[in-house]
Structure 1
Amino acid sequence: MRTILITGPGGSGRTTVAAATALRAAAEGVPTLVLGADRTDTLGAALGTATGPAPTRVTATLTAWRPDAGARFREDLTAFQTRAAGVLDLLGAARLDAEELTPLPGAEELSLLRALRDATLSERYELLVVDLPAAPRALDLLALPEELRRYLRRLLPPERQAARALRPVLGRLAGVPMPADWLYETAARWDVELAAVDAVLADRDTAVRLVAEPGPAGADAVRDTRLGLALRGLRTESLVANRVLPDDLPLHGLVAQQRKALADWTQAFDVTAVPHLGHDPRGAEDLAALAVPGVNTAPAPVEWPVTDQIEEDGVLVWRIPLPGAIRDGLDLVRRGDELVITVGGFRRIVALPSALRRCTVAGAALREGELRLRFAPDPDLWPR
C-alpha cells in the first residue's frame, strides 16, 4: 500500500488538499482510504459527506475515516483496569466507569497512529491518504512511536522478563514487589503495535506532502517542517502551494510575496501550485477543480549512508541529510551507542550503526544541508 502523509501550517488548507488528493486517486480507479485527525469534521465538510468513527463510503473507490479517540481511550483504560484488578483491589482503589472516562492529552495521537496501522494492514485499499494535524503537532505525532518504544525498552527491558523464577527472591532482597507478567506482556504488545507504525513511516512507499500558502509565514513554516521531517528520516515528496492568486494580477503586495515564495520553493521542492478558487472548496466538484499532484510518482528513498574513507583519511563518514539546518542551531552529543541530535528546535536520539559503535568521534561538519560525522576506528575495538 502507498501511504501519503499530508501536513502543513494551520489554516493552509491541508485537509482540503488531502481530500482532493484522495478523491483524484479514487476517480482514477485506485481503492483509497482518507484518514482524518481533526476532532471536528473538517474532512467531511470538504468531501461533502459526514465522516466519523466508522469508515464511510464516499464513492465506489473512496472511503473516509475519522477515528474516535475517546472511545478507544475508554476501551484501553477499561481493559487495563481489568488486567490490574488484583493490584487495584490491594490498594483499595475505586474503579472508573467507562462513562466517566475522558481522553487524556496524547489519546488522540495514539488513536490516529493505531488507525494508520490498522488501515495499512487492510487489503481493501491500495492508497492511504492521511490528513495529519498541523505542523509542528504533526512532527510530535510522527516522533511518538519511536520515542515510546525507546521509553518502554528502558523502563521494562524485555530480557529481564526471563528472570521470572527469580522474582520472588529478588523482591525479598530488594524489599519491593517485582513487575508482574501482565506488565511485561502489555509492554510487549505495545512495542509490537508501535513497531508496526514505525514500519509504515519507514516504508519506501510512504511519503510526506507539505501544504502551505506562499508568503513569508508559509516559507518559515515550510523550512522548519522540512527540517523536522528530515531529522526523522521522512521524505518530503512534494510541496503543494495552495491558494495561489492568478498571474494576471498586478505584481505587488500579496501577489509579489507569493511569486517570491514560489520562486524560492521551486529551487528546493517539487512544487505544485493550486490556484485560489475564490471560495472555500466544498464537495466533489470543487475538489476535482483543485490541481493537486497525482499519486503515481515513486518517492525517492531517504538514506543515512556510512561511507568508508579509511584508506584515504582513516575515517568512516556518516552522512545525515538535514536540509535547512544552520550551524548555530546544531548540537551533537554521543552517549554510549547513541547519538543525540538537536537541530532547529527538534531533537532525536538515534542508535549508531554497528560499525560506528567501535569508533570514536573525530569531527563533524554541516555542508550543503548535510551533516557529515567523522568516526575514527578505536584500536582497542576495531579488528586488525
Structure 2
Amino acid sequence: MPVRTLLVTGAGGAGRTTVAAAVALAAARDGDRTLLLTRDADAAAHLLPAAAGAAGGTMADGLPRPAPVDGVDGVDGLYVAVVDTAASFRSGALDVQDRIGSLLSLLGAAPLDPEELTELPGADALALLRVLRQAGALGADSAWDLVVVDLPPVREAVALLALPEQLRRYLGRLLPADRQAARALRPVLAQLAGVPMPAEWAYEAAARADRELAAVQAVIDARGTSVAVVVEPGPAALRTLRTARTGLALYGHRPAGVVANRVLPAGSADPFLAGLSGQQQEHLKELADACAADGAELRETPHLGRAPHTPRDLLRLLDPAGPAGGGPVELGRPIGVGGPIGVGGPSAGAAAEPRPDPWTVQDRLADEGQFVWTLPLPGATREGLDLVRRGDELVVDAGGFRRIVPLPSALRRCTVAGAALRDDALQVRFTPDPGLWPR
C-alpha cells in the first residue's frame, strides 16, 4: 500500500512541531502505523519522551530505522525519526569522495577524514529530503501507513519542496543527458577544442542524483501527499496563509487544511482574556474565508494555558473534552487523516499517482485565435508578480517565489500576447507564431 504523507508547515513559533506530533500520535492511536519525521530532537524528546534514545535496526542507505514508541497512553505503532543533519551530510560527502577517488588521486589531493566533515548551510534541507525519499518510496514494504513531516516555516518549506525540481533543472543544463551519446568522441573533441570534456563519472553522478531527486519529487507530487498550514490566530496569520497559498500553488500544491492553534476559549469572565478571544475570533473569520476559497478545512486547537508537556496534552489538542474529563480519549479520524486535509483521501492504488497538473491550456484558436494558459495563484497580488518568456520556458515570480517551467509543446510555437491576474489565477495568452505555426 502506498505511504500517505502529511507535510506540516506554518508560521514560525505557531506550534508546527506540536501539531505534527499530535496528528502523528492521534493517527497511531486510530490504528495507522505512523512515522513522525522532525529535525527538532529536543521537541520530539519533550513531547514524546518514550521516543528519546530508542534504538533500532538500519534501513537502506545506512539511515537509522525509527524506533517504535510503544505504551504511550496505550498507543502502539508510532515511530519517531529525528533527522540527523550532520550524519547525513557526512554520509553523502564520503560517498561522493569515494566515487571520485581516482580523480582526487590524479590531482594529488588528500581525501578528507570523516572527523573533518561538518555540515554546510543547506545540508539540513537535503537531509530531510533524503529521509523523505526513503520513507515514501518503500511502497508495499513500508513499515508505516502514514508519514507526518515536521517542515520548517512557510518560506523555507516552499523552497524545500521546490528544491528537487530546481536541482534537476540545473543538472540537465550542466550535464545534458543527450550529450552522453558522444562518449566515444570525447577524446577527439577534447583535442579539437583544447579543453577537457566531462568525465564518465560526472555523467554517472548526475544520472544517479537525478534519479534520487526524481524519487523525492514523486513523493512530494503524489496524490497521497497533502500540506497542512499551522498558524496562531492574530494579525500575521492571514499573511502567513497568503504566502503559503501563493508559494504552494506556484509549484502545483495547495493547503489541504489549516490549523488555527492556541485558540482561547470564548466567554471568559476575565475582561482581558475576553478581549483577546474576541480579537482571535475576528482573525478566525478571515482565515475561514481564505480556506473556503481554496476548499481547505480549518481546524481549531485549544490553548491549554501552558505548553504541551505530555502525550496526553497532544491528544487533548485534538479532543479537548477527553483528557479533561479524566476518561479515555475517544478520537475519531484525527486532523489530516481521512478528512478534507487529504492524507487519507485517495484510494490505496491512487495514493502514489501524481496529482493532476493544475496549470491548464485552453484552446481558443477557433473563436479568439489564441491559447490561454491558466496558472492558479491564490493569494497573489500584482505587486511582486512578474512573467518572462525565456526560450521554451516561462519564468514566473509571485509572492517572493520563482519557478521556471517548460512551455507545453503547442505554446513553444507561439508568442506571448499578454497576461492578467483574475480570480486568483494568472492567465497567459499565446498567439501562434506565423513563422513556426503550420498553415
Taking the aligned partners of 2:103 and 2:194, their CA distance within structure 1 comes to: 17
- Residue among 210, 217, 220 paired with 1:191: 210
- Residue among 48, 64, 88 paired with 2:104: 88
Pair 1:164-2:183 in alignment: yes
Taking the aligned partners of 2:407 and 2:274, their CA distance within structure 1 comes to: 50
Pair 1:32-2:34 in alignment: yes
| TM-score normalised according to structure 1 size | 0.95
Taking the aligned partners of 1:235 and 1:344, their CA distance within structure 2 comes to: 14
Larger deviation, residues 338-347 vs 299-308: 299-308
Larger deviation, residues 283-292 vs 268-277: 283-292
SS across alignment from 1:341: strand
Residue 230 of structure 2 corresponds to 211
Larger deviation, residues 145-154 vs 350-359: 350-359
Spell out the pairing of 1:1-384 with structure 2 (5 A cutoff).
Answer: 1-38=3-40, 40-51=41-52, 53-59=64-70, 60-122=76-138, 123-249=142-268, 250=271, 253-269=275-291, 270-291=297-318, 293-297=335-339, 299=342, 303-384=358-439
Q: How far has the Cα of 1:86 moved from its partner?
A: 2.4
Contact 1:216/1:257 (<8 A) preserved: no
- Which amino acid is the alignment partner of residue 157 of structure 2? A
Distance of aligned partners of 1:360 and 1:36 in 2 relative to their CA distance in 1, 3 Å threshold = same
Q: How far has the Cα of 1:202 moved from its partner?
A: 1.1
Contact 1:19/1:34 (<8 A) preserved: yes
Q: How far has the Cα of 1:220 moved from its partner?
A: 1.6
SS across alignment from 2:289: coil
Larger deviation, residues 68-77 vs 163-172: 68-77
- Which amino acid is the alignment partner of residue 339 of structure 1? L
SS across alignment from 1:306: strand
Contact 2:7/2:150 (<8 A) preserved: yes
**RMSD between superposed Cα atoms in Å:** 1.8
Contact 1:48/1:282 (<8 A) preserved: no
| TM-score normalised according to structure 2 size | 0.83
Contact 1:306/1:316 (<8 A) preserved: yes
Taking the aligned partners of 1:256 and 1:152, their CA distance within structure 2 comes to: 52
Taking the aligned partners of 1:8 and 1:31, their CA distance within structure 2 comes to: 25
Contact 1:51/1:65 (<8 A) preserved: no
Count of matched residue pairs: 383
Listed one character per residue, the Cα deviations across residues 235-259 of structure 1 (whole Å, up to 9, x for unaligned) are 2101000000001135864323311
- Which amino acid is the alignment partner of residue 163 of structure 1? A
SS across alignment from 2:284: helix
Larger deviation, residues 342-351 vs 172-181: 172-181
SS across alignment from 1:342: strand
Q: Give unpaired runs (5+ residues) of structure 1.
A: none
Taking the aligned partners of 2:49 and 2:263, their CA distance within structure 1 comes to: 23
- Which amino acid is the alignment partner of residue 226 of structure 2? A
Taking the aligned partners of 1:370 and 1:81, their CA distance within structure 2 comes to: 46
Contact 1:54/1:67 (<8 A) preserved: no
Taking the aligned partners of 2:136 and 2:130, their CA distance within structure 1 comes to: 10
Taking the aligned partners of 1:54 and 1:205, their CA distance within structure 2 comes to: 22
SS across alignment from 1:327: coil
Contact 2:266/2:278 (<8 A) preserved: no
Taking the aligned partners of 1:7 and 1:341, their CA distance within structure 2 comes to: 23
Larger deviation, residues 122-131 vs 3-12: 122-131
Contact 2:395/2:402 (<8 A) preserved: yes
SS across alignment from 2:300: strand
Q: How far has the Cα of 1:383 moved from its partner?
A: 3.6
SS across alignment from 2:96: helix
Distance of aligned partners of 1:294 and 1:155 in 2 relative to their CA distance in 1, 3 Å threshold = closer
Q: Give unpaired runs (5+ residues) of structure 2.
A: 54-63, 71-75, 292-296, 319-333, 346-354
Contact 1:24/1:294 (<8 A) preserved: no
- Which amino acid is the alignment partner of residue 290 of structure 2? A
Larger deviation, residues 86-95 vs 290-299: 290-299
- Which amino acid is the alignment partner of residue 49 of structure 1? A
Taking the aligned partners of 1:233 and 1:73, their CA distance within structure 2 comes to: 29
Taking the aligned partners of 1:355 and 1:37, their CA distance within structure 2 comes to: 44
Listed one character per residue, the Cα deviations across residues 84-108 of structure 1 (whole Å, up to 9, x for unaligned) are 2222223222221011111111211
Listed one character per residue, the Cα deviations across residues 146-185 of structure 1 (whole Å, up to 9, x for unaligned) are 1111111111111112211111111112222211111111
Larger deviation, residues 108-117 vs 176-185: 176-185
- Which amino acid is the alignment partner of residue 42 of structure 1? A
Q: How far has the Cα of 1:294 moved from its partner?
A: 4.1
Larger deviation, residues 351-360 vs 290-299: 290-299
Q: How far has the Cα of 1:54 moved from its partner?
A: 4.1
